Amino acid sequence: MFAYYLDLALRSLKRNKGLTALMVLAIALGIGASMTTLTVLHVLSGDPLPGRSATLYYPQLDPRSLEDMRPGEAPPKQVSWMDGMNLLKAGRADRQALMTGGAVAVSPPDAAIDPFFERARYTTRDFFPMFDVPFLYGHAWSRADDNNDARLVVLSYRINERLFGGADSTGKVLRMGGKDFRIVGVLKPWRPAPHFYDLMTGDYSNSEGVYLPLLTATDLKFPFNGSRDCWGNSANVDQKTAQCTWLQFWVQLDTPAKAAAYKQFLDNYSRQQKSQGVYQRDPNVRLPDLMQWLDYNQVVPSDVQMQFWLALGFLVVCLVNTIGLMLAKFLRRAGELGVRRALGASRRSIFAQLLVEAGAVGLVGGIGGLLLALAGLGLVRMQATDYAPLAHLDMSMLGATMLLAVVATLFAGLLPAWRACLIPPALQLKSN
């Protein structure tokens, strides 16, 4: 029966081309606008590490002075050098990484390429396995290298393409900041969205081009590129001894029991620091997981959320217009439908026929909406925002576009189809 209903629907749509075009246009505009904003929201609010994010946690401590303390205040978003190194050396997590952002001057081995500054990540070895960073060539440095001022570097795919044409560069020497570093690894293309492991340098910024051991970078006094929160008279003191939070610390805890134990460890550590006079405040500890950390920092821009709700409202307006057009179209065919009823067709059959026709309109409108969404995402990518390059329609959103178009149009067709089914066939036959 579906094939028969579809044939009737296509004939009906061809007979009323103008009305059909208006319905398709209304659906296409609503779907195009809503799916453009929904795709951007989907990209920006997605899980950057599916299957792993629930085991990644961001410890927060509060080493600040009593000055300007407010009840219920959240602890700082970063850790101090002292706390970071203490937690790192304690080794209570399955994996752990202490890091910060920076920028280094790169002197290309090819004299034809001008020197340039590149964003860097000063970190510890567990950064790579903990965040599932994919390697194209080589590997990360060893844990021993973290403590030996090893002059080693891991390159991003982008920088390796720029400096070595994409060839295996492991074992070669790269001069950065006036010092020679041996390349031990090259990454595959990797850009987590959002830039979850360091939201201080931009929620959706590009991944860094070079990765260096944290202790090496700080001992060489390589430039730091991030934010600092200091108290007391520490603004101009060496970062290792200053009363400032400026590092990010992540841990991997594979079970909820380990997470609970680690939070208790953080609480005990804070109490110990206060008893020794290092901390002035009572323990103020938090241990959000990755997704909780993103929610806390509200990484999805508010304007993106507002645009989504506005587009959704526009879709509702388009559906209301579509309901009116369908109602006019179906009621205009009352004579035809009355003949079918008189020949034995049930109300259910008429209702199904009209819904198939509505679904056909939705399918064509969905194709139009998909094209408009692709055009809209192209305009988004032209904007001067750090998340603009991420605006792409993946397969899941492509399927969602077509599904939303058909479902929305079927929903819009319910009332017109039901009204058309209620018309007494005898009345229509008599009028004809």
- Residue 178: the pLDDT is 93
Helix (H) or strand (E) holding 377: helix 347-381
Q: Classify 272 as helix, strand or coil.
A: helix
Which residue type is seen at 371? L
Place of tokens 């002035």: 280
Which residue type is seen at 215? L
Angle of helix 347-381 versus helix 302-332 axis, rounded to 10: 150
- Residue 369: the pLDDT is 84
**Token pair of 289, please?**
């997981």
Distance of CA 338 to the CA centre of its chain: 53
Query: β-strand 152-155 against 179-187: which pairing, if any?
Result: parallel
- Range list of H helices, 235-346: 256-275, 290-297, 302-332, 334-342
Cα pseudo-dihedral 219, 224, 226, 229, rounded to 10: 60
**Minimal CA–CA distance to 373: which of 102, 71, 28?**
28
How far is the first Cα of the chain from the last one, in angstroms, to the nearest whole number?
28
**Token pair of 83, please?**
């706390």
Q: How many CA atoms lie within 13 A of 84 on its CB side?
A: 27
Question: Could you read off the pLDDT tens digit of each residue along the chain, which spans 432 residues?
Answer: 667 666 666 666 677 777 778 888 888 888 888 888 888 877 777 788 988 999 999 999 999 988 878 888 899 999 999 999 999 999 999 999 999 999 999 999 988 899 999 999 999 999 999 999 999 999 999 999 999 889 999 999 999 999 999 999 999 999 999 999 999 999 999 988 888 899 887 766 678 999 999 999 999 999 988 888 888 776 566 778 778 999 999 999 999 999 999 999 999 999 999 999 899 999 999 999 999 999 898 887 777 788 888 888 888 888 888 888 887 777 776 666 666 666 666 777 777 777 787 888 888 888 888 888 888 888 887 877 777 777 777 777 778 878 888 888 888 888 777 777 776 665 555 555
Q: Classify 305 as helix, strand or coil.
A: helix
Task: Tell me how far apart the alpha carbons of residues 359 and 353 are, in angstroms, rounded to a whole number.
Answer: 10
Contact 174, 181 (CB under 8 A): yes
| Beta carbons within 8 Å of 346's beta carbon, 6+ residues apart | none
Task: Tell me how far apart the alpha carbons of residues 262 and 256 are, in angstroms, rounded to a whole number.
Answer: 10
Task: Tell me how far apart the alpha carbons of residues 38 and 35 are, in angstroms, rounded to a whole number.
Answer: 5
**Minimal CA–CA distance to 192: which of 161, 165, 141, 156?**
156
Q: Classify 69 as helix, strand or coil.
A: coil
Helix (H) or strand (E) holding 378: helix 347-381
Helix, strand, coil percentages (3-state) for the chain, rounded to 5, are 50, 15, 35
Contact 214, 123 (CB under 8 A): yes
| Beta carbons within 8 Å of 86's beta carbon, 6+ residues apart | 269
Which residue type is seen at 158? R
Distance of CA 283 to the CA centre of its chain: 33
**Minimal CA–CA distance to 205: which of 282, 101, 346, 331?**
101
Task: Tell me how far apart the alpha carbons of residues 346 and 354 are, in angstroms, rounded to a whole number.
Answer: 13
pTM: 0.78
Q: Longest C-alpha distance within the chain, in Å?
A: 98
- Residue 367: the pLDDT is 86
| Beta carbons within 8 Å of 120's beta carbon, 6+ residues apart | 101, 102, 103, 104, 208, 209, 210, 211, 212, 217, 222, 225
- Range list of H helices, 382-424: 395-421
The alpha carbons of the chain give a radius of gyration, in whole angstroms, of: 30
Contact 429, 342 (CB under 8 A): yes
| Beta carbons within 8 Å of 15's beta carbon, 6+ residues apart | none
Helix (H) or strand (E) holding 155: strand 152-155
Task: Tell me how far apart the alpha carbons of residues 64 and 62 are, in angstroms, rounded to a whole number.
Answer: 6
Tally of residues, the chain: 432
